[in-house]
Structure 1
Amino acid sequence: MWSISPCQSGERTDGEPMAGRNSYSQWLWWLLPVAGLAIILATCSPEQLDITSVESMSLEPPPTAPLAAASHRWREHNNADSGFHSIPEGRVALGTRLQLIDAAQSSIDAQYFLMKEDKAGYLFASSLLAAADRGVRVRFLLDDIYTTVKDASLVLLDTHPNIEVRLFNPIERGGFYWAKYLLQFERTNRRMHNKTLIVDQYAGIIGGRNIADEYFDLRAGSGFIDFDLFLLGDAASATTAGFDQFWNHPLSMPISAYLQRVPEALLRKVRDRASAAMATATGEHYDAIRSAGLLDEVLNDQLPLVPGEAAAVTDSPEKLLAPPDKEQQILVNRLKEVIVGAREEVLISTPYLIPGPSGVEFFRDLVARGMRVVILTNSLASNNHVAAHGAYQRYRESLLDAGVELFEVRATAADVYYEFGALRSGGEGRVNLHTKAIVIDRRWVLAGSLNLDPRAVNLNTEFGLLIDSPPLADELAARFEQRLQGTAYQLQHQHGQLQWTAVIGDETVTLTKEPDASLWRRVVATLSTLLPESQL
């Protein structure tokens, strides 16, 4: 049973406007503590609401289902448990998701860190509704903090008899939303960062993308370099087992808990608005984006998949309820085991890199053993979290002195096709690295949601697929190496000074300050060094 306190509502509010101001300063000083007390009382209302959360598990599809049949055929012909195909291109990633949902006959299990009410969100939601209309069971699990879809919209989706939506570790509704976040910070600061989509147990997509336009190359001026893996076979089934852990955990809150809090008039308004937006999105974009997907080729046995053996490794949802502890770092611990056992090379792509002193020493030990360690991360100009860069920059010299080959993405490289995590050729706007992938000894690949920062290691739950596949590792490593010089600066630490070197066009350029970064970004990054690193 669920117990939730406060005055909940279907809409989130970031705050309320001031009712008025008195010109006399003594009135202002009197009103401030009264307003603060009112916020606290409104936030801590003792109202209780009991909600029954029904446990459910993944469903086995009939063997004749298209995805199940394709998986069985592929395994017979390739003598491997799972097949993989890398998806760097954003529109291919979204199109394949839509095709997967269209092919579903039994179940859809979707787990994401965030979703937005934009073209990608409406296309995804309309496809889920169409699948539910065919009788497919849909379980949709979203983390609560950065999902900007209004509760009323999620409630509306949940009213379909074949769809259940749940929020993970939700913040109480009503009153001042962010006041509640701060007053319950010890709990609300811990988030589910997993990102997976599994259909009919036998096929799916995992990787770094959330459900929003910027991840799928649908927003003008946005250049997200990202990366997903399509999977067929046992790897998909193993991923679904991890989904079940989160879906049935007490922190997983049915959105139906808010149904009685959403007025019928608001639901009608949201239904009309959503219907119009979905119709527009599907009419203008659906066919073009769906046709970019690769699933039709898989179902017709026309797309070669790379064979491999995979283990789905996920942090436990209990991690969010426990103090930061190494025992809770399930994914990181397993990754360390594989890297420690490596002999030659580790290639790392991570948007946010805050290794801490222990991480620097970890990499130093690898290099001392004769291993090559190469890391690609964001530059200050390309980073969408400047505060994270502020923490990272204090470790650059130490990493370089330890022998790490360190690269930062060129924010102005949008005209370059980046295959490890792709942009359209001739793209515009600034590049932002969002790819989370590690290649070890040209044999192992880790793909999933993991960033190399304290938040991912200690505070959030993360998911990764650890794949033993030399062909896949070779493919990703070759692309990684091929494109580093075209889209990134290599850093060097010489004579006590950092240098950034890149080949831009036919010219080798060397800089001695943060490339392409404004003075404002440099100032903010410097001030961010005052923030607690453990929260970044």
Structure 2
Amino acid sequence: MDKVYHFLTLASIALYWFLVAGVSLRVVLKRRAVSVSLSWLMVIYILPIVGVLCYFLFGELNLGRKRAERAKEMFKPFGSWFRSLNDCQAHRPDGMGAHIYKIDELCNHRMGIPALSGNTLSLQNSPNEILHSIIDDIKQAQHSIRMVFYIWHPGGLADSVASALIQAAKRGVDVKLLLDSAGSPRFFRSHWLTMMEDAGIHVVQALEVSPWRIFLRRLDLRQHRKIIVIDDAVAYTGSMNMVDPAYFKQNSGVGQWIDIMVRVTGPAVNVLSAIHCWDWEVETGERNLPHVPECGIDSSSPHHPIQVVPSGPGMPEHLISQVLTLAINQANESVCITTPYFVPSADLLAMLKMTAQRGIKVDLVIPHKNDSVMVKWASRAFYGELLEAGVVIHEFSGGLLHTKSVVIDRQFCLVGTVNLDMRSLWLNFEVTLAVDDEEFTQQLYWQQQSYIEQSTQVDYEVWEQRSLGHRFLERLFYLFNPLL
């Protein structure tokens, strides 16, 4: 019996060694950022067995066989639809500012999506304003409503939106609702799901969470977009999920979530509609591309070009990350960034430091309290070198600042669903708008300034005196940034 135990022990050690060696070799051979590879190796060796299991679950971008095949087949017809927009009147490269011209070139070459002029934008920064505006537009819908959200949390005005959708469906409007499975569990357990389906609303779980699929698809790959398109005439996107903040995560100790949304009319609406159609087909296999917009614009009116920038599995890799890099590198005076989750890659960290070091005023606004303890401490691991480089860090104390925005030189901006972490920039389904509209950008800049007024600036000398315990937590959670 002792020999059997001895043999089993040696066999287990050998199996574990081969498993760790094999996974380590796979980590090293994958082409990705060195910092990510090193972090994974640390996780694998610090957490025996658990680290290997985490790598199998979260280590590689795996959309799943069916979705990956659909995305591959979709790329050509969707690319043709996007490229057809280059021939419409709303694509006017000659009238674009320097910032968006280069972004138009990038997105056009990589995915066929051009920047389109002739849009109107409305910045909405109050939950009541946002949700009432959405309800009013739903009540006016005549043909179609397309929605995709990461979180739908029942309660408050979110229930009023649900009621408006049900009434729209009953009067014959085609309503398609795509919700992330992991982000919206309360919705899928609520009575609203049955009521919507009974009314004829098509409700689909995106990236369904199931114990049977954990090894078939990356578990933390999420549908993080927030898009509403009504009659292909009005669209919304931004940072706000379908929640009423007064009824959402009230026990988390971070205060109400602070968000913005952008209401859009004009040719860019159809591009956002096409992005929803992409997501719908990836999940269901059903193709329903919108009509190509007429794109007629008044030459005497401001052009207001908007570049819709999507990213995610099946789309060109790191497109939003590249757009962010292009935008920040063009800054001549200032960059102001708001993000709830700040865990930058080595490249993004170096770019922010270099931008500050070349004399550009760089402001970073992040929440003082965060609903993710790991992200909170991992974020602070970057404070020292950012402060030393001249980046000004503001910790917002008026709630959980969830707005994702970048303003360049008070003339150009990015606004959408993207956090400044590797999950958003490299992994999830996301969307952002690159906006060449000085008036809208100024409104967004004033919104950012209102956040700064409710923040405390981090002082470098005081920061350097923080306790050893805080330093330990920062470095500990920094090691797990591939999982954040």
Among 351, 369, 372, the residue aligned to 2:361: 372
**Unaligned segments of structure 1, at least 5 residues:** 1-52, 59-78, 173-178, 255-304, 320-326, 414-430, 500-511, 515-520
How many residue pairs end up in the alignment? 357
Query: How far did residue 120 of structure 1 move?
Result: 3.5
TM-score for the superposition, normalised by structure 1: 0.60
Query: How far did residue 316 of structure 1 move?
Result: 3.9
Asked if structure 2 preserves the Cα contact closer than 8 Å seen for 1:90 and 1:216, the reply is no
Among 387, 392, 408, the residue aligned to 1:400: 387
TM-score for the superposition, normalised by structure 2: 0.67
Please say if 1:334 is aligned against 2:323. yes
Asked if structure 1 preserves the Cα contact closer than 8 Å seen for 2:151 and 2:180, the reply is yes
Query: How far did residue 313 of structure 1 move?
Result: 0.9
Residues 149, 155 of structure 1: CA spacing in aligned structure 2 closer, same or farther, 3 A cutoff? closer
Q: Which residue of 1 aligns with 2:262?
A: 229
Query: How far did residue 312 of structure 1 move?
Result: 1.1
Residues 252, 445 of structure 1: CA spacing in aligned structure 2 closer, same or farther, 3 A cutoff? farther
Q: Which residue of 1 aligns with 2:482?
A: 534
Matches of 2:137 and 2:124 in 1, distance apart?
A: 14
Query: How far did residue 357 of structure 1 move?
Result: 3.0
> For residues 207-237 of structure 1, what are the alpha-carbon distances to aligned partners after superposition, in whole Å with 9 as ceiling and x for unaligned?
1111122278896984222111111222222
Please say if 1:464 is aligned against 2:432. yes
Residues 487, 128 of structure 1: CA spacing in aligned structure 2 closer, same or farther, 3 A cutoff? same
> For residues 72-103 of structure 1, what are the alpha-carbon distances to aligned partners after superposition, in whole Å with 9 as ceiling and x for unaligned?
xxxxxxx9611111111111111111111111
Query: How far did residue 432 of structure 1 move?
Result: 1.2
Matches of 2:139 and 2:473 in 1, distance apart?
A: 44
Asked if structure 1 preserves the Cα contact closer than 8 Å seen for 2:146 and 2:176, the reply is yes
Q: Which residue of 2 aligns with 1:69?
A: none
Q: Which residue of 2 aligns with 1:488?
A: 455
Q: Which residue of 2 aligns with 1:289?
A: none
Matches of 1:530 and 1:404 in 2, distance apart?
A: 20
Q: Which residue of 2 aligns with 1:98?
A: 135
Residues 374, 108 of structure 1: CA spacing in aligned structure 2 closer, same or farther, 3 A cutoff? same
Among 308, 312, 325, the residue aligned to 1:312: 308
> For residues 238-291 of structure 1, what are the alpha-carbon distances to aligned partners after superposition, in whole Å with 9 as ceiling and x for unaligned?
211111111111x3489xxxxxxxxxxxxxxxxxxxxxxxxxxxxxxxxxxxxx
Give the 3-state SS of the residue equivalent to 1:149 in structure 2.
helix
Among 406, 409, 424, the residue aligned to 1:441: 409
Q: How do residues 29-108 of structure 1 correspond to structure 2 at under 5 angstroms?
A: 81-108=118-145
Asked if structure 2 preserves the Cα contact closer than 8 Å seen for 1:367 and 1:402, the reply is yes
Letter of the aligned partner of 1:451 in structure 2?
N
Give the 3-state SS of the residue equivalent to 1:343 in structure 2.
coil
Query: How far did residue 464 of structure 1 move?
Result: 0.5
Query: How far did residue 491 of structure 1 move?
Result: 1.2
Q: Which residue of 2 aligns with 1:209?
A: 240
Letter of the aligned partner of 2:267 in structure 1?
D
Residues 487, 159 of structure 1: CA spacing in aligned structure 2 closer, same or farther, 3 A cutoff? closer
> Which structure has the highest strand share of the two?
1
Give the 3-state SS of the residue equivalent to 1:184 in structure 2.
coil
Q: Which residue of 2 aligns with 1:75?
A: none
Q: Which residue of 1 aligns with 2:351?
A: 362
CA RMSD of aligned residues (A): 3.4
> For residues 433-467 of structure 1, what are the alpha-carbon distances to aligned partners after superposition, in whole Å with 9 as ceiling and x for unaligned?
11111111222121110000111122212111111
**Unaligned segments of structure 2, at least 5 residues:** 1-69, 79-115, 287-300
Matches of 2:479 and 2:353 in 1, distance apart?
A: 26
Matches of 1:152 and 1:407 in 2, distance apart?
A: 38
Q: Which residue of 1 aligns with 2:110?
A: none
Query: How far did residue 358 of structure 1 move?
Result: 2.4
Q: Which moved more, 1:163-172 or 1:207-216?
A: 207-216
> For residues 8-45 of structure 1, what are the alpha-carbon distances to aligned partners after superposition, in whole Å with 9 as ceiling and x for unaligned?
xxxxxxxxxxxxxxxxxxxxxxxxxxxxxxxxxxxxxx
Letter of the aligned partner of 1:498 in structure 2?
W
Q: Which residue of 1 aligns with 2:176?
A: 139
Residues 140, 523 of structure 1: CA spacing in aligned structure 2 closer, same or farther, 3 A cutoff? farther
Please say if 1:130 is aligned against 2:119. no
Please say if 1:498 is aligned against 2:446. no
Query: How far did residue 365 of structure 1 move?
Result: 1.8
